[in-house]
Structure 1
Amino acid sequence: MASIVKHLLGVAVITGAGGTGIGAAVAKGFARSGCTRIAITDINSKTLSQTKEAILSVNPSVRILDRSGDIADEIFIDSFHEEVFSRFSRLDYAVNCAGVLGSKTLKAVEMETGEFDRLNSINYRGSWLSCRAQLRNMLKQEPLDEQPKQRGAIVNIASQLGIVGRPGAAAYCASKAAIINMTRSNAIDYSENGIRVNCVCPGVIETPMTTTSPEMVEALKPAIDIAPMKRMGTVDEVSNAVLFLCSTQASFIQGHALVVDGGYTIN
């Protein structure tokens, strides 16, 4: 598949990049777009290796830094980004994809605190820690000659459920709404530094997380039926939106939550 965005020069970091989900699709999309220095991380070292192999199958000349670790671990996230900057001397694009849906559909009084903490540690805390580390590094550099108006670009993965609610998902919806408003606030704070911060809000996307469990497939069916397009999206459809927001084609887009949901939120 060809990328819709070309000439994404510089260094890209993708968190939550393991396996065949959105993060892996984004990593491959950067490789197709001409990015030859890519850093990836995920908690699962096996699926992270699969992503590394997939990147090299797209472009064997890509230099890859891959480290497995917990996105919610402050020490790991800070050291990973320090290693990226030490290895590649800059950080131009950062995409934060790590996230979980939760083990099952639960109303607030049915959810244990431990499950709430696990969900928010990955979805919100992990994104916040990653953004902080990425902003620190981007502030150290000057823009590339090829993109003089952009010192760096960050794209966070939120969800359609950060914009609207759904039954049995109060904690998940809140974690994704937090990402959207974190994105907006960081965009305000760092616009003067030439750093753009946006997010993508996918609908139901066909990934291992949404298709491996029969219970999850059944739980997601109403959301698919509500959306006018009445199908799951693909990881490449989300990746294309992410790459656009990273590129200078989106040079005047700041603090935006781009919905990629087949029309779910308009219905």
Structure 2
Amino acid sequence: MFPGVAVITGAGGTAKAFATAGCERIAITDLNEESLQKTAETITSTHPKTHLLVKAGNVADDRFADSFINAVVQQFGRVDYAVNCAGVLGKPMRSAETTLEEFDRVNNVNYRGCWLSSRAELRQMASQSELPSHDPNRPGQRGSVVNVASQLGIVSRPGAPAYCASKSAVIGMTRADAIDYSQDGIRVNCVCPGVIETPLIMEKPEVRAAITPAVEIAPMKRMGQPAEVADAILFLCSTQASFVQGHAMVVDGGYVTV
């Protein structure tokens, strides 16, 4: 299903999903080296045929973003699927209380880091040959990029001006890149997850308490699972989504519909 090379920033459940779906060349990065190594160990133990490139680093650093993609191309020759998951939460405060340091911390990772990563990925994809489609009724593609935004990039919540703005920026960037790179045979989309049961949320009681109202607002009244977001990402990367371009797919249990 995924015969090419996948690149995932903020690696975790999505990287494991690509391996499970049959992608045998995967490059992963994360700022947290311990978490990154755990992901790598899980993939190699459950999918021994998978060839991994593992490189820890900060996606907000333009030198790292470029060097990571250069390393991927050096080892695997190309980039076919790129998923930009790296992100951080913001501290709960209104704009008047938000410091410049806090604003920059959130936006440097969530928006700048996503832009730097996608810029390097798109540059490589535009320069490479097309990956043929195995379905004669669907065109091949030079690459597919999926950026991870948030339900809060579509509808905001109190006390999160920097976070909401950073995720709105990712959606806007995705749509602009989709227009610009259609001519190159590259698709660019994003997913907008709701409250997902990740370690970032589950390991901190104060974060769990803060997101409980959002869970109750959504019609499905539960947290999503990482696999449910990964499935949406896999769809958008696959040739099954060959006519999906510039789309912000919401995976939030109905939160934004209320």
Q: How does 1:150-161 map to 2 (within 5 A)?
A: 150-161=141-152
SS in structure 2 of the partner of residue 139 of structure 1: helix
Provide the aligned C-alpha RMSD in A. Answer: 0.9
State the partner residue of 1:143.
130
State the partner residue of 2:103.
116
**Matched-pair contact (CA < 8 Å) for 1:244–1:250:** yes
State the partner residue of 2:175.
184
**Aligned to 2:213, which of 200, 208, 222?**
222
What TM-score do you get using the length of structure 1 for normalisation? Answer: 0.94
State the partner residue of 2:75.
87
1:266 aligns with 2:254: no
**Aligned to 2:195, which of 204, 208, 214?**
204
- Rounded to whole Å, the distance in 1 between the matches of 2:46 and 2:103 is 38
1:47 aligns with 2:30: no
Partner amino acid, structure 2, of 1:28: K
Deviation at 1:53, TM superposition (A): 0.9
Q: Deviations over 1:211-258 (max 9, x none)?
A: 222111111011000000001000000000000000000000000000
State the partner residue of 2:19.
31
What TM-score do you get using the length of structure 2 for normalisation? Answer: 0.97
**Matched-pair contact (CA < 8 Å) for 2:133–2:140:** no
Aligned residues: 254
1:8 aligns with 2:19: no
1:59 aligns with 2:28: no
Q: How does 1:219-258 map to 2 (within 5 A)?
A: 219-258=210-249
SS in structure 2 of the partner of residue 259 of structure 1: strand
Deviation at 1:57, TM superposition (A): 2.5
- Rounded to whole Å, the distance in 2 between the matches of 1:194 and 1:206 is 35
**Matched-pair contact (CA < 8 Å) for 1:196–1:255:** yes
**Matched-pair contact (CA < 8 Å) for 2:133–2:141:** no
Deviation at 1:46, TM superposition (A): 1.1
- Rounded to whole Å, the distance in 2 between the matches of 1:135 and 1:93 is 10
Partner amino acid, structure 2, of 1:40: I
Deviation at 1:144, TM superposition (A): 1.7
Deviation at 1:56, TM superposition (A): 1.3
5+ residue gaps, structure 1, are: 1-6, 18-23
SS in structure 1 of the partner of residue 201 of structure 2: helix
**Aligned to 1:68, which of 49, 56, 77?**
56
**Matched-pair contact (CA < 8 Å) for 1:28–1:58:** no
SS in structure 2 of the partner of residue 180 of structure 1: helix
- Rounded to whole Å, the distance in 1 between the matches of 2:182 and 2:43 is 31
State the partner residue of 2:153.
162
SS in structure 1 of the partner of residue 213 of structure 2: helix
SS in structure 1 of the partner of residue 55 of structure 2: strand
Partner amino acid, structure 1, of 2:130: P
Deviation at 1:59, TM superposition (A): 1.0
Deviation at 1:146, TM superposition (A): 3.2
Overall identity of the aligned pairs, in %: 61
SS in structure 1 of the partner of residue 60 of structure 2: coil
- Rounded to whole Å, the distance in 1 between the matches of 2:204 and 2:49 is 37
